[in-house]
Amino acid sequence: MFEVLSDKLGKVFRLLGNKGKLTEKDIDDGLRQVRLALLEADVNFKVVKDFVARVRERALGAEVLQSLTPGQQVVKIVNEELIAILGQEPSKLNASGQSPFVAMLVGLQGSGKTTTAAKLAHHLRHSGQRPLLVAADNRRPAAIEQLVTLGEQLDIPVFNEGTSVSSKDVCTHALAKAKSLAATWVVVDTAGRLHIDEEMMKELGEVKKVLRPSETLLVVDAMTGQDAVRSAEDFHGRVNLTGLILTKMDGDARGGAALSIRWVSGVPIKFIGIGEKTDALEPFYPDRLASRILGMGDVLTFIEKAEAAFDQRQAEELKKKVEKASFDLEDFLAQLRTIKNMGPVGQLLDMLPGVSRLAAKLPEGTEEKQLQKVEAMILSMTPGERHNPQIIGGSRRRRIARGSGVHPHDVNQLLNQFTQMQKLMKMGVKGKLPRNLMGMFG
């Protein structure tokens, strides 16, 4: 996400940081580059104009011009103003009143609405809720089939009555079903169109009267840039949106929609979609996204993912092994698999301060391929070799290389790196480094 914008802003801040003291001209020259970077990232012109004006006003104040670290102060101001554009505080789902609460998803065809409905239901269940999915898109049989399939995969009930029943009636019957199931949330996938028209808006209005939703969420494709912003304005004017879900954020290298849509439409972003998997939906935190844009990473989200992926019992067992210096390649393999469960490695690296810029320079998929290569090498070893790598001599290394489809020097590299890791862990036991891998995440 935002790799193009992050790279350009990073260059501007490095230039400002190299100056011991900033003049008004330095600030104007830097902000001119910031303005160009934002416009090239497809950020709305009015948003860019207001943003640069506010940053300039603050940057010309005493906190920058008289600071011993003026470059850092400019970055701080830009960070704070980015957060202001993105919404200042995170906006949570409205769960006031009596359950079941209703989340009505609207949007154009192709925005990922049906998949997002399943992702949202999965997120709700993970948060301790009992969701019911409702297939109310009676214009596309494929959408109904897709939602039913996703519901089966996630073990979440899906209410559908095919295409012969009107969307309005489907929703009426779905609410009764939700009460009988004691569902706490009803997530409704409504019909979309290729473009906004009166017929669609009339139908959405009728469905909304039946559902009386707690949330009316517009699902928009972040990669469509300013088209997504215009869609948000149009939908908000017709059906009074309460929130936005930006999909395909992982494929949006520019970020114009994310940086414009909240400011222009006045509707808060509640979730972002960062992948195709059903767990690839994140609550939206303005401060965390601003941090990613500025190349500062997103450590809080990384820790949350690590805590969700790591089993506490396994972490305690690992700690004991590290303390006894008995951590072996079998344990290392288990940790690799846990890291893979946290999500795409490229996205994880993007969350780590200082690593995101390095990760952006790597060819796409490099990190995943490296993990697969390491996993293949360990799986090509015998149990005895994994528990005691010291026995792996030249002939064993050649056999492991043939079995995993790599070169012998790749096996040498893995074993050397693992030996270094063991030494570091022994130092950690003595208090010089984190005691276990969980410590490295926290």
370 lies in some domain:
yes
Model pLDDT, residue 36: 92
Q: Cβ–Cβ contacts within 10 Å for residue 402, how many?
A: 12
Confidence category of residue 311, pLDDT binned at 50, 70, 90: low
Give the C-alpha separation, 141 to 285, whole Å. 35
Give the C-alpha separation, 41 to 4, whole Å. 8
pTM of the model: 0.71
Q: Are residues 292 and 306 in the same domain?
A: no
pLDDT in tens, 90-109: 889 998 888 899 999 999 98
The stretch 256-264 carries a mean pLDDT of: 87
Mean pLDDT score of the chain: 83
Q: Are residues 113 and 55 in the same domain?
A: no
290 lies in some domain:
yes
pLDDT in tens, 354-384: 445 545 555 555 667 777 888 899 999 999 9
SS3 274: coil
User: Which has the minimum average pLDDT: 121-130, 341-350, 378-387?
Assistant: 341-350
Boundaries of domain holding 196: 101-296
Q: Are residues 143 and 286 in the same domain?
A: yes
pLDDT in tens, 420-439: 777 766 655 444 444 444 33
Q: Are residues 267 and 239 in the same domain?
A: yes
Among the candidates 86, 109, 136, a domain finishes at 86
Among the candidates 296, 324, 339, a domain finishes at 296
Among the candidates 277, 296, 315, a domain finishes at 296
Q: Are residues 383 and 346 in the same domain?
A: yes
Q: Are residues 130 and 272 in the same domain?
A: yes
Model pLDDT, residue 314: 64
Give the C-alpha separation, 35 to 50, whole Å. 10
Q: Cβ–Cβ contacts within 10 Å for residue 45, how many?
A: 12
Q: Are residues 184 and 37 in the same domain?
A: no
Task: Indicate the number of domains in the chain.
Answer: 3
Q: Are residues 345 and 390 in the same domain?
A: yes
Q: Are residues 63 and 196 in the same domain?
A: no
CA 26, 31, 36, 42: dihedral to nearest 10 degrees?
Answer: 160
